[in-house]
Structure 1
Amino acid sequence: MRPTGPDDRHVLAAAITCQATTIVTWNTADFPADSLDPWHIVAMTPDDFLVEQVSIDGRRVWACVQQIADSRRNPPETTEDVLDALERAGMVESVAALRAGRWS
């Protein structure tokens, strides 16, 4: 079993304490499955996590994207603006799933 890195132990400790099932991080390499398995926790990238959420309830995720766009006032943003920003941030697969669904 390879332990999590010393800079990441607090993240695992917090997940264990709150009985989380998922650690969402771009840094999945520092959370090897064999160190998470005893606590029934998995590490996922934000993109993979959001893809999973879209598959569970795409309408709800789309509503969240709309809510984010509606809250942007200066400058105003559309849902496409929010999706573009998410895509630039590395959320490529989840944005593709959202664009394919179009729950509007």
Structure 2
Amino acid sequence: MTYRADHFTALIDACVLAGALKRNLLLSLAGAELFRPRWSGEILGEMEVAIAKITNGKADTAKQRSAMERAFPEACVSGYEIYIRSIELPDENDRHVLAAAVRTYAQVLVTDNLRDFPKDKTGPFGIEVKSPDEFIADTITLHMPTAFEAIRKMRERLNHPELTASEIILKVEAHGLPQTASLLTENRSFWG
């Protein structure tokens, strides 16, 4: 997949990728080439552990990871380990995430753990930290026709069980994405 030069790079944290709905929304938008998604093998490993925990071990996490790797073969960041030691964060276990973002020249780090990536630590690297809700809403707003087409296609893929537009909006809101839910509600005719 080739991306236009004006599309930005976003490193996505494991905590965001673990939830199926957030992951589907983000990867649908990335699949529409609205941004370049990035993660590391370590992030995907953490994602697998989190998915297993969420689903009580019932999900085939290796299959989900493999599907992501096939869909976005250029997304996996390597060579970031050299940056880890020089990075200071409130939680040392998150240093690899910022290191991967630095290595891939990400403009945005998407995470649910905003407090773990304070601006004074990420700003010097030129990396903005955003919640998944803010990031998804911003991406939709910047590219409305393409974004809504990607979301419409995502909705068509969700057939176990099939969800109505109203059900998707309720799920999006229930998963902590109120800005995104509002955009979907206001523009239902374009994707629902």
- 2:181 corresponds to: 95
| One-letter identity of the residue aligned with 1:43 | V
**Identity, % of aligned pairs?**
26
Structure 1 gaps, min length 5: none
Say whether 1:54 aligns with 2:144. no
Say whether 1:41 aligns with 2:136. no
1:8 counterpart SS class? helix
Q: TM-score, normalised by structure 1?
A: 0.88
| One-letter identity of the residue aligned with 1:73 | N
Q: What is the RMSD computed on CA atoms of the aligned residues? A: 1.7
- Match among 31, 43, 47 for residue 117 of structure 2: 31
CA drift of 1:90 comes to 0.4
- Match among 88, 97, 101 for residue 15 of structure 1: 101
Larger displacement relative to structure 2 (5-14 or 61-70): 61-70
- Kept in 2: contact 1:62–1:103 (CA 8 A): no
Number of corresponding residues = 103
In 2, distance between residues paired with 1:72 and 1:54? 19
2:134 counterpart SS class? helix
Q: TM-score, normalised by structure 2?
A: 0.50
- Kept in 1: contact 2:108–2:128 (CA 8 A): yes
1:16 counterpart SS class? helix
In 2, distance between residues paired with 1:19 and 1:103? 36
Deviating 4+ runs (over 6 angstroms): none
- Kept in 1: contact 2:165–2:188 (CA 8 A): no
CA drift of 1:103 comes to 5.1
- Kept in 2: contact 1:58–1:98 (CA 8 A): no
Structure 2 gaps, min length 5: 1-87
